[in-house]
Structure 1
Amino acid sequence: MNYLLKNKEVLTLIGAARLESVWVQSGRIWLTREGDPRDYCLAAGSRLALDGARLVVLEALEDAALAVVVAGQEQHGGARLTLALSSPGGR
């Protein structure tokens, strides 16, 4: 699944399926995932394995394009995710 985020937009991914990886195609993002005490700042060209996390929160540190790979995405034509996108200032 591909996403375009504007600077400071926050994307929360809550998956019925397991999240496998995120690839930052352009821009920079901050990422935290369930079960991992570390936070990550990822720049264009970076890929991070999500190790089957079911909850991931990302914030664009600048306009960013990214792809999220979900377990079973190819077999089922898409995985079930609950998405919450928030803009700076609640817009």
Structure 2
Amino acid sequence: MMSNILLHKRTKGALAENEDEWTLYVDEESGSMQVTHWWHHMNPYKSTLTSEGSDKFTVDEFLKSDEPSAAKDKLREVLAERGAELPHQPR
């Protein structure tokens, strides 16, 4: 069974035209985990899509990345709650 936990959501722009979400996906049977960053950015004045996509990270890759610290802090919190071992990472 796969579960997902929203780590962080960011909406920017006067018309909320730029959305980003970071989600932790956990395979409850195997214990494997991955973080996905999904984004959808629009130009509200031309009603055109400027960028859309997703990136996938291992937990270690995500903690080493330049992704938002709020998402990393939430990931550390979730891992601690689950009793998962945290990779040693400077903050």
TM-score, with structure 2 as normaliser: 0.28
Name the structure where helix makes up a greater proportion of residues: 2
Structure number with the higher strand fraction is 1
Q: Which has the larger radius of gyration?
A: 2
User: Higher relative contact order at CA 8 Å, sep ≥6: structure 1 or structure 2?
Assistant: 1
Q: Could you state the TM-score of these two structures normalised by the residue count of structure 1?
A: 0.28
